[in-house]
């Protein structure tokens, strides 16, 4: 039976189905030959989540038939859930920014030789950053004399507590790197990998590297997002916004599509200011501010010339945003922008010593929960992902029992979370009337104003 009649894509044609990285074929088939079934299944799920545009191609459907056929010959098969996801996503249109499940893109890593961690890859970060308390917990030698000034998203300037040098490697990869981390007290993430390291290791720009290094944790029922900007250099994509030329910040540490409020008004966007569309922005130091609303159905495309590849997006509108337009991690990864559209990416490295750390969390449930609850949500999100990975690596005879125990734990956690939300909601309602009586003029207009640093002439 030939490949065409069987619906199987030959090994040499596989790279064309993805459109990138010819050696990706050998990598996948090597995993299959050595029996790494669970890892391949995770890769398939990852591809379904990340590459929706590619999945609509006929070649991509044939690609997954090829994998299923190959696995079947090894007495294994692609899960029905994966194939169902592929089928359903092939007919979907691309629309980002609406409410739904919360995802967290992490890079499973090993730091200080043996400590497992999940790092955040932030393409807008000039340096690598680490939580000060996390560095101390690892017993790292801190250089307290190496400090710098950092500006938070609310305009407050803080001083880093020092730097550390330590060993870092990607999980399941042998290469070890010695990296310098700047320490931020109370940093919202334990480990943040900056742009220069991400570029040097091609973590985002290579399909193979992105697929094996970046993991998407998904949690439903918790609408908590975050947005980061760390550093003075601002990589931007050139493109068209509603048909007009526009640059957009490529922020892989941002979980929200954002447009500056003044810019939105200047280009005639309609801003829906209903309370349900206003969310609370949470900065790195825990301070908060609200968005102005949302603009729905905004058209964006990569590149300065009109094409058929337009994306319909829903943007949060933010007063005094750090850039006119900010693209989120989910959108950048779903469209594999760093791979397919890197020719439109402008990356102006700035060697100035001053660094900016603009960190924002978006928490639509701010009325019910405080900072502690937000941190708990993120911790639970990470734990669920880690448990999924752990269970996937168990023996077949142990998987069912472990999955049942984890399901019961999640159910109990969700029930407790819902109860706390209800209690907090009742408390907030009793305070709402007094809060609404504060005159608009009494609020500081620029309480959380922040801008990108001006480039040197």
- Judge if 26 and 152 occupy the same domain: no
The pTM of this model reads: 0.58
Percent pLDDT > 90 in the chain is: 24
Q: What is the pLDDT of residues 196-225, one digit of tens each?
A: 899 889 999 888 888 889 988 775 554 445
**Which pLDDT score, from 0 to 100, does residue 134 have?**
94
Asked whether residue 409 is domain-assigned, the answer is no
Per-residue pLDDT band at 348 (split at 50, 70, 90): low
Per-residue pLDDT band at 417 (split at 50, 70, 90): confident
Structure tokens at 348: 């102006």
Considering only residues 357 and 61, tell me which one the structure prediction assigns the higher pLDDT: 61
Least confident of 130-134, 412-416, 435-439: 435-439
Task: With a cut of 90, say whether residue 165 has pLDDT above it.
Answer: yes
HEC secondary structure over 417-449: HHHHHHHHHHHHHHHHHHHHCCCHHHCCCCCCC
Mean pLDDT of the chain: 70
Q: What is the pLDDT of residues 18-37, one digit of tens each?
A: 434 434 444 555 555 444 45
Q: What sign for the dihedral angle of Cα 85, 91, 95, 100?
A: negative
* Contact between 360 and 226 (Cβ < 8 Å): yes
CA torsion angle for 4, 9, 10, 11 (degrees, to 10)? Answer: 180
Structure tokens at 420: 């706390």
- Judge if 306 and 352 occupy the same domain: yes
- Judge if 258 and 328 occupy the same domain: yes
Residue with tokens 């509603």: 242
Asked whether residue 354 is domain-assigned, the answer is yes
- Judge if 77 and 204 occupy the same domain: no
The whole-angstrom separation of Cα 332 and Cα 190 is 23
Highest mean pLDDT among 25-34, 251-260, 268-277: 268-277
* Final residue belonging to a domain, choices 92, 119, 139: 92
- Judge if 358 and 315 occupy the same domain: yes
Neighbours of 20 (CB within 10 A): 16
- Judge if 147 and 178 occupy the same domain: yes
**Which pLDDT score, from 0 to 100, does residue 317 have?**
92
Structural domain for 325, as ranges: 224-363
Average confidence (pLDDT) over 301-317: 87
The whole-angstrom separation of Cα 188 and Cα 175 is 27
Considering only residues 172 and 42, tell me which one the structure prediction assigns the higher pLDDT: 172
* Contact between 330 and 188 (Cβ < 8 Å): no
* Final residue belonging to a domain, choices 170, 198, 217: 217
Per-residue pLDDT band at 65 (split at 50, 70, 90): low
**Which pLDDT score, from 0 to 100, does residue 315 have?**
94
Neighbours of 390 (CB within 10 A): 11
- Judge if 193 and 288 occupy the same domain: no
Q: What is the pLDDT of residues 369-391, one digit of tens each?
A: 444 555 566 567 667 777 777 78
Q: What is the pLDDT of residues 100-140, one digit of tens each?
A: 556 778 999 999 988 999 998 988 777 889 999 999 999 99
Give the domain CATH number at 240: 2.40.70.10
Asked whether residue 399 is domain-assigned, the answer is no
- Judge if 48 and 118 occupy the same domain: no
- Judge if 114 and 195 occupy the same domain: yes
Neighbours of 353 (CB within 10 A): 9
Q: Which candidate, 319, 427, 296, 449, places its Cα nearest to that of 366? A: 427
Structure tokens at 196: 């220069």
Bridge partners of 449? none
* Final residue belonging to a domain, choices 343, 363, 383: 363
């Amino acid at each position: 039976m030939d490949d065409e009649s069987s619906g199987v894509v030959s090994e040499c044609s596989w790279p064309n189905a993805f459109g990138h990285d010819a050696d990706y074929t050998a990598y996948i088939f090597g995993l299959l030959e050595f029996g790494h079934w669970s890892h391949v299944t995770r890769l398939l799920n990852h591809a379904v989540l990340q590459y929706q545009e590619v999945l609509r191609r006929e070649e991509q459907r044939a690609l997954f038939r090829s994998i299923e056929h190959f696995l079947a010959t090894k007495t294994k098969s692609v899960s029905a859930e994966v194939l169902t996801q592929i089928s359903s996503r092939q007919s979907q249109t691309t629309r980002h920014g609406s409410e739904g499940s919360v995802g967290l893109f992490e890079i499973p890593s090993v730091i200080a030789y043996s400590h497992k961690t999940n790092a955040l890859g932030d393409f807008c970060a000039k340096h690598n950053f680490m939580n000060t308390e996390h560095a101390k917990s690892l017993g790292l030698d801190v250089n307290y004399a190496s400090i710098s000034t950092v500006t938070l998203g609310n305009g407050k300037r803080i001083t880093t507590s020092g730097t550390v040098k330590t060993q870092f490697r990607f999980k399941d990869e042998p290469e070890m790197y010695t990296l310098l981390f700047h320490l931020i007290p109370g940093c919202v993430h334990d480990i943040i990998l900056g742009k220069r390291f991400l570029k040097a290791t091609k973590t985002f720009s290579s399909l193979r590297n992105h697929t094996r290094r970046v993991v998407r944790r998904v949690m439903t029922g918790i609408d908590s997002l975050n947005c980061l900007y760390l550093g003075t250099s601002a990589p931007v994509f050139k493109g068209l916004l509603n048909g007009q030329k526009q640059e957009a910040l490529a922020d892989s540490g941002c979980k929200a599509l954002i447009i500056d409020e003044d810019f939105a008004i200047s280009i005639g966007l309609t801003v829906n200011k209903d309370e349900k569309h206003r969310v609370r922005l949470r900065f790195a130091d825990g301070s908060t501010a609200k968005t102005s609303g949302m603009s729905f159905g905004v058209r964006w495309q990569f590149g300065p010339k009109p094409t058929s590849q337009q994306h319909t997006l829903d943007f949060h509108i933010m007063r005094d945003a750090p850039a006119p337009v900010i693209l989120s991690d989910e959108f950048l990864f779903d469209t594999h922008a760093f791979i397919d559209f890197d020719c439109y990416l402008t990356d102006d490295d700035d060697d100035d010593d001053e660094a900016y750390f603009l960190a924002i969390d978006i928490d639509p449930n701010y009325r019910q929960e405080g900072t502690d609850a937000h941190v708990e949500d993120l911790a639970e999100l990470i734990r669920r992902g880690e448990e999924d990975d752990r269970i996937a690596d168990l023996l077949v005879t142990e998987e069912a029992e472990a999955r049942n125990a984890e399901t019961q734990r999640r159910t109990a956690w969700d029930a407790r979370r819902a109860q706390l939300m209800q209690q907090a909601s009742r408390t907030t309602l009793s305070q709402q009337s007094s809060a609404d009586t504060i005159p608009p003029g009494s609020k500081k207009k620029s309480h959380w104003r922040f801008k990108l640093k001006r480039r040197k002439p």
